[in-house]
């Protein structure tokens, strides 16, 4: 009963937030007051922009979202109809959804990491280049700083993550989740870029690379966890492995395969 009252109070109590002019509160959220319809919101609607948050706001946002969604999933696990009704209120109230009633945030523990580590091994012809991650742009693109100080935009080979839109009016399903996941994983750490035979850059001038982080193939991890789709229009040595990773996610209905129609 107490848990239900907490959820109801959270949904209907006013939230202290700033206007859509750009300023945000401590959780990285604010209310829309200008150009609301253009950005897909109603006037006064409270919402978040994960792609523009700083690290502190992103942590608070994730903690708030995880806590709220976990409580709702547990409370309405045996009542799908009520779960959908409450989820719709969450969507209107905070501009994010909590996914399916049976899903829950997954921890990336030792058993999970085994799926990604050394599955696509670096062969003798691959030469890894150590770089520093400056920022994550979306679920399949990052900006890095090379050892010579030059900044480059890198498109991860073989995957296609849902498109992120700054104001979320054109954002594809699961784009924010993919962005947040990759940002939390890479942060501003050192990573390895691996080039494969074929095109060095795409038509936008971005470097085409595999990214390895702490021994894990990041592209394959995104596919296996359902944060991206296999990209079939670019031939590369890991195609079969990447396709298998997507099939694994589809069969388990992970990520976008369980949330997006």
pLDDT digits (tens, 9 = 90+) for 47-67: 776 666 777 777 777 777 777
Query: Based on the domain organization, do 119 and 225 belong to the same domain?
Result: yes
Across the chain, mean pLDDT equals 77
Q: Quick check: is 56 in a domain?
A: yes
Examine the pLDDT at 104 and tell me if it is beyond 60.
no
The proportion of the chain whose per-residue pLDDT surpasses 70, expressed as a percent, equals 69
Residue 10 — pLDDT band, cuts 50, 70, 90?
low
Same-domain pairing of 26 and 143? no
* Residue 22 within a domain: yes
* Residue 61 falls inside a structural domain: yes
| CA separation for the pair 41, 169 (Å, rounded) | 8
| Residues in a beta bridge with 155 | 141, 208
Is 152 part of a structural domain of the chain?
A: yes
- Pair (49, 175) in one structural domain: no
- Residues 167 and 38 reside in one and the same domain: no
Evaluate whether residue 203 is within a structural domain: yes
> By residue range, what is the domain housing residue 31?
2-94
Q: Which residues, at least 6 apart from 88, have a Cβ–Cβ distance to it below 8 Å? A: none
In a domain? residue 186: yes
Number of domains, the chain: 2
Considering the domain architecture, whether residues 117 and 202 belong to the same structural domain is answered as yes
CA 139 – CA 119 distance, rounded (Å): 21
Q: Specify whether 231 is located in the same domain as 175.
A: yes
In a domain, residue 144? The reply is yes
Is residue 108 pLDDT above 50, yes or no?
A: no
| CATH number of the domain where residue 238 is located | 2.40.50.90
2-12 and 55-75 helices cross at what angle (nearest 10)?
130
Residue 238 near residue 120 (C-beta atoms within 8 A): yes
DSSP lists the bridge partners of residue 135 as: 143
Residues 86, 158 within the same domain: no
Indicate if 50 and 134 belong to the same structural domain.
no
Q: pLDDT (tens digit, 9 = 90+) per residue, 224-257?
A: 999 999 998 888 999 999 999 999 999 988 999 9
Same domain, 80 and 126: no
Looking up tokens 């253009």, which residue turns up? Answer: 38
Q: Are residues 71 and 131 in the same domain?
A: no
Q: Please report whether residue 173 resides in a domain.
A: yes
């Amino acid at each position: 009963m107490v848990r239900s009252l907490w959820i109801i109070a959270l949904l209907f109590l006013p939230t202290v937030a700033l206007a859509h002019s750009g300023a945000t509160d401590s959780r990285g959220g604010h209310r829309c007051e200008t150009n609301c319809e253009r950005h897909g919101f109603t006037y006064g609607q409270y919402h978040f922009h994960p792609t523009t948050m700083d690290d502190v706001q992103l942590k608070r946002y994730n903690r708030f979202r995880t806590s709220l969604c976990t409580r709702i999933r547990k409370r309405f696990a045996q009542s799908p109809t009520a779960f959908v009704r409450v989820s719709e209120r969450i969507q209107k109230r905070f501009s994010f959804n909590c996914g399916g009633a049976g899903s829950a945030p997954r921890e990336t523990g030792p058993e999970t990491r085994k799926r990604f580590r050394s599955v696509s091994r670096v062969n003798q012809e691959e030469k890894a280049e150590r770089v520093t991650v400056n920022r994550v742009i979306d679920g399949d693109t990052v900006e890095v700083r090379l050892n010579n100080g030059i900044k480059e935009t890198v498109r991860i080979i073989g995957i296609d993550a849902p498109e992120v839109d700054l104001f979320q009016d054109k954002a594809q399903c699961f784009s924010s989740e993919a962005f947040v996941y990759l940002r939390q994983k890479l942060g501003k750490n050192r990573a390895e870029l691996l080039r494969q035979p074929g095109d060095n850059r795409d038509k936008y001038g971005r470097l085409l690379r595999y990214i390895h982080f702490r021994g894990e193939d990041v592209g394959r991890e995104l596919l296996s966890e359902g944060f991206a789709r296999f990209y079939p229009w670019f031939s590369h040595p890991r195609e079969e492995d990447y396709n298998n990773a997507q099939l694994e996610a589809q069969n388990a209905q992970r990520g976008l395969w369980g949330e997006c129609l």
